């Protein structure tokens, strides 16, 4: 089943001084592997982690993650 949650993490990373996946992982307090999996759409994060990632970019969760009907 295709993942319906899309994200703009890659785009926001580049907009934030080309933030690396490791830097984002540090800010969200998860492993780089988890960021890679989320960015690739292979893993849908919990609400808590989604908020942490959005905060790392100074954005709202809705801006970073989208649910496709």
Partner 1 sequence: MNKAQKRAWLILAISIATLLASAAVIIFVHINHIDVIGLSKPTLTGRILGVVMTVPLILIVVTAWRLPQKDFDERDKLIDHKTVIWGYMGAFIFLVGAGWFIIIANHLGTIKSMLIIYLIYLAYFVSASVSSIAALIQYSLGGKNGE
Binding positions for partner 1, rule: CB under 8 A: 29-31, 33-34, 37, 40, 42-46, 48-49
Q: What residues have CB less than 8 Å from 59, skipping those under 6 apart?
A: 12
Which helix (H) or strand (E) is 5 found in, with range? strand 5-7
Rounded least distance, CB 66 to partner 1, Å: 16
Q: Say if CB 28 and CB 16 are below 8 A apart.
A: no
Indicate the residue among 18 and 25 with the shorter CB distance to partner 1: 25
Q: In the numeric block, which tokens belong to residue 66?
A: 């989208």
Indicate the residue among 47 and 58 with the shorter CB distance to partner 1: 47
Indicate the residue among 40 and 60 with the shorter CB distance to partner 1: 40
């Amino acid at each position: 089943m295709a993942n319906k949650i899309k994200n703009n993490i890659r785009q926001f990373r580049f907009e934030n001084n080309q933030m690396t996946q490791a830097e984002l992982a540090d800010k969200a307090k998860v492993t780089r592997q988890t960021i890679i999996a989320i960015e690739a759409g292979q893993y849908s994060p919990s609400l808590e982690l989604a908020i942490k990632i959005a905060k790392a970019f100074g954005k709202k969760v809705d801006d970073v993650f989208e649910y496709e009907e």
